[in-house]
Every structure is written in C-alpha cells, then in structure tokens.
Amino acid sequence: MNINLSFSTVAARIQMEPKELRLLLRPDVKSQFIAISDDAKLKPFQIEMLRSELKSNRELAAVIEASAAAVRQNVIGYFRQEGLFDLDHVALVDVGWKGSLQDAIYRIMSSEVSCPRMTEYYFGTSCYSQNTSPLNRKIPFFLFPSGKPGYGPLVELLLLADHGMTLRYECDAGDRYRAVTKEEGAHLFDWGLSDYFDGIRD
C-alpha cells in the first residue's frame, strides 16, 4: 500500500539498505531521490518512478532476484518442515483482504509439487484476484467483495497480535526454520496492549 510509503520502506521490501538501493538506481532516477531523506513520505510521482525503475532496471532486478532466491529457499524449507508439500489439500486461515499472500504461497507450492490444492478461509475479502481458481480457493466468512468501504480496520483491531508481521524465515543451528517477525515497539505495550487483549477476551 502507498500510504506513508518511504524510500527506506521500499528498500526494506526488497531486502536492501536505502544506501545500497540508491547506488543501483540509474542516474536520471537517482537524481530525483538525492535530496529526500530515507524516511520522508514519497509523493505519487516518486512512487511511480520507483515502480518503473524496479520493472525496467535489469542490473537492479538481478540483485533483487539473487537476494529473493536465497530468501525463497528458506520459505520452501519452512513449508517443507511444516508438511505443506506432503498434504493433498492445504487449508489456511487469515484475516484478509485481497488474497495476494495466498497467491504467492500457491505459486511457491506449485513450483515444488504438481497441482497443489489450497483453500484459504478469510474473515473477509475485498476482491478476488485473477489467480483465484478451484485449486486456489478463497472463502470469506464475514465480509465479501462489494466495492464499498468495509470494516477491515475494525476486524484488524479485534484480531491484533502481540507480534508484528512475518518478515522472513531463518534456519537455526538445529536446522529448524522459524519465522522472524517485525518488532512492534514498546509504545504498544506502554499504551496498554495486554489490557486491550484482556478486553477483547472479556
């Protein structure tokens, strides 16, 4: 999502430091980002410029693809460890909303096993992607695609976890894969996260 997107956020999403990403930009694009700080909110034209650069700069793409290949092997290792490749039909449960994560998981599984079947159960979906099919099903429970503003933020609050989103997977010294999650910061606990969870349970 483009809300409050910064240069450092874009770099992190492709497993790079902002300085490293700047070095790989072509000169005409690099000149547009020299004067802005890494954490400044990007303007729409800057977002489009970076999106275009990511699609067309082959040197940059090669670095991203090499990094992604290494990260992807850990994802596959985690899936194999959890038995996803041994099952005839995989079911996942998620909050929502577009199913893009499910589509990514399905593509990875398809590269390892032939014709995997996946069904994901959502609290809600805002749309169905073109990758939705009988082999890659999406079943919403409470909110359905409608084009109207939904209750997504409310449901997200009700299902808030005590850890951040999964950033990547790592293999430890015992050859076990584990999820590395984003640190949400002490401010949430200072705000009263444990009291909030108690309230939800009540």
Tell me the pLDDT tens digit for each residue of 159-182: 777 777 888 899 998 999 999 988
Q: Which residue, 120, 118, 123, 156, is CA-closest to 141?
A: 123
Q: What average pLDDT does the segment 101-130 reach?
A: 90
Percent of the chain with pLDDT over 90: 47
Question: Would you state the pLDDT for residue 1?
Answer: 52
Helices and strands counted in the chain (H then E): 9, 5
Question: Would you state the pLDDT for residue 147?
Answer: 61
Q: What average pLDDT does the segment 21-38 reach?
A: 90
Q: Which residue, 88, 85, 102, 189, is CA-closest to 137?
A: 102
Helix, strand or coil, per DSSP, at residue 40: coil
Band of residue 150 on the pLDDT scale cut at 50, 70, 90:
low
Beta-strand pair 166-171/118-124: unpaired
Q: What average pLDDT does the segment 134-156 reach?
A: 80
Question: Would you state the pLDDT for residue 148?
Answer: 64
Question: Would you state the pLDDT for residue 117?
Answer: 93
Pull the structure tokens for residue 58.
């082959």
Q: Which residue has the higher pLDDT, 194 or 59?
A: 59
**Cα angle, residue 55 at apex, residues 53 and 59 outer, rounded to 5°:** 75
CA distance 78 to 169: 7
| pTM summary value | 0.74
Q: Which residue has the higher pLDDT, 35 or 17?
A: 17
Question: Which residue has tokens 């005590």?
Answer: 162
Q: Under a CB-based contact definition with an 8 Å cutoff, are residues 94 and 152 in contact?
A: no
Cα 72 from chain centre: 13
Q: CA distances (Å), 42 to each of 7, 48, 54, in order?
A: 7, 10, 16
Question: Would you state the pLDDT for residue 195?
Answer: 87
CA distance 138 to 148: 19
